[in-house]
């Protein structure tokens, strides 16, 4: 039954699940291949997904969603040491005398040869290594021994398939390190802004999704509203164009957590003050500068730690999530929790902003109306 069920709805599993999960229909669900009614009211369906946004809202409403976080790097290391290496070694007929893995070798595989939330590809790569060593054992004899380390792992697996984004070498103007969440874990995301001569145009590149493009527009509106506090004239945008770019343009990027990163990059480029290279940040921004909560905190901070960043700026609303962070993050990183964008700029910029005194021409004070009626009584 389930074979035909899957085959019939292969191109639209969501439609099938919508029907079988509806309590008004699942007691008489009809298999269109056998033309037989089935009672599915007591059947439990378990489905897995990497992302939620591809699941129709109507189907999500009929499901109980359990969110399982991906394994951390340290958790993957322990799983490999205790289970995966032993399993693959036995399947290839090797003994502990024939092959051994150092912790650095396993970490090298995790970082540069796999990119996943689980350990399926990690197990596949370990099995690949075991088979290559088994071939050497067959050729050289049962006493052949191979110790796999970070230095020689590339001889068996070839050139690294993945690389982590690197932190820029020095603090620069308009260059900010943000933190991003992906389906396979966290990563650092560099945001850069260039100021050009122009007429107030904002150009956004880097294959950003709709949410991130809106974040960029909101960040610019915040900067314009706080122009004098940032040391800018009220009309600064009339003579410049701004180009905001997130590198690695071939990779689509989206999500509501880059607002403060973009606002910091814009403020730095316009005020000509460098941003600290040793600090990362994540959080969304409102037009009034309030910093909003984000998701994927653990994965983002682990990415910062891998990149050698030990200080991060986070929304105050995420302070409650610290209890769920691994101990190595709590001990190694300095976390700043903020409510307002002003606090972000104070922490991220290498020198404080110098506010401009309001000029008379920039004053928003109301001007008394001129009486041009010759003191005629006003109309009621």
Radius of gyration of the chain (CA): 28
Neighbours of 127 (CB within 10 A): 17
Q: Which helix (H) or strand (E) holds 186?
A: strand 185-197
> What's the average model confidence in pLDDT over 266-272?
92
pLDDT digits (tens, 9 = 90+) for 137-175: 999 888 899 999 999 999 999 998 887 767 788 899 999
- Give the closest residue to 74 by CA, choosing from 279, 295, 281, 305: 305
| Residue 269, pLDDT above cutoff 80 | yes
For 220, list phi and psi in degrees, rounded to 5. -65, -40
| Residue 372, pLDDT above cutoff 90 | no
> What's the average model confidence in pLDDT over 330-339?
93
DSSP string, 4-15: HHHHHTTT-HHH
Q: Using 50, 70 and 90 to split pLDDT, how confident is the model at 233? A: confident
Mean pLDDT across the chain, nearest whole number?
83
Residue 337 forms beta bridges with which residues?
A: 314
- pLDDT for 211 equals 87
- Residues taking part in catalysis: 257, 300
Tell me the percentage of the chain whose pLDDT exceeds 90: 43
Half-sphere exposure at residue 243, Cβ-oriented, CA atoms within 13 angstroms: 9
pTM exceeds 0.85:
no
- Give the closest residue to 244 by CA, choosing from 226, 225, 259: 259
- Maximum C-alpha span of the chain: 114
pLDDT digits (tens, 9 = 90+) for 24-79: 766 777 777 777 777 777 788 888 887 777 788 888 888 888 887 778 888 899 99
Give the chain's end-to-end CA distance (angstroms, integer).
Answer: 81
């Amino acid at each position: 039954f389930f074979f035909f069920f899957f085959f019939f709805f292969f191109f639209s599993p969501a439609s099938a699940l919508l029907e079988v999960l509806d309590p008004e229909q699942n007691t008489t669900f009809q298999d269109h291949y056998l033309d037989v009614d089935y009672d599915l009211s007591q059947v439990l369906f378990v489905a897995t997904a990497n992302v939620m946004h591809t699941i129709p809202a109507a189907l999500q409403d009929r499901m109980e969603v359990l969110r399982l976080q991906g394994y951390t790097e340290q958790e993957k290391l322990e799983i490999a040491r205790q289970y995966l290496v032993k399993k693959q070694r036995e399947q290839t007929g090797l003994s502990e005398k024939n092959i051994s893995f150092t912790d650095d070798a396993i970490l090298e595989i995790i970082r540069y040869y796999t990119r996943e939330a689980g350990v399926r590809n990690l197990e596949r790569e370990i099995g690949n290594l075991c088979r290559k060593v088994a071939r050497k054992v067959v050729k050289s004899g049962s006493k052949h021994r191979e110790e796999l380390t970070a230095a020689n792992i590339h001889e068996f697996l070839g050139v690294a398939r993945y690389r982590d984004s690197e932190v820029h070498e020095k603090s620069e103007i308009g260059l900010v390190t943000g933190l991003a969440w992906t389906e396979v874990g966290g990563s650092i995301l560099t945001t850069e802004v260039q100021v050009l001569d122009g007429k107030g145009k904002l150009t956004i590149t880097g294959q950003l999704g709709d949410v991130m493009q809106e974040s960029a527009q909101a960040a610019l509106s915040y900067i314009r509203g706080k122009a004098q506090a940032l040391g800018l004239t009220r009309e600064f945008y009339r003579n410049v164009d701004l180009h905001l770019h997130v590198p690695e343009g071939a990779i689509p990027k989206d999500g509501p957590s880059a607002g403060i990163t973009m606002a910091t990059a814009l403020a730095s480029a316009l005020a000509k003050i460098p941003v600290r290279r040793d600090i990362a940040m994540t959080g969304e921004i409102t037009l009034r500068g309030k910093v909003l909560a984000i998701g994927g905190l653990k994965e983002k901070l682990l990415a910062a730690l891998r990149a050698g960043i030990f200080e991060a700026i986070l929304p105050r609303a995420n302070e409650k999530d610290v209890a769920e962070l691994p101990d190595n993050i709590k001990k190694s990183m300095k976390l700043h929790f903020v409510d307002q964008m002003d606090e972000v700029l104070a922490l991220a910029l290498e020198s404080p902003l110098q506010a401009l005194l309001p000029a008379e021409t920039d004053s928003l004070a109301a001007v008394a109306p001129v009486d041009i009626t010759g003191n005629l009584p006003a109309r009621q």
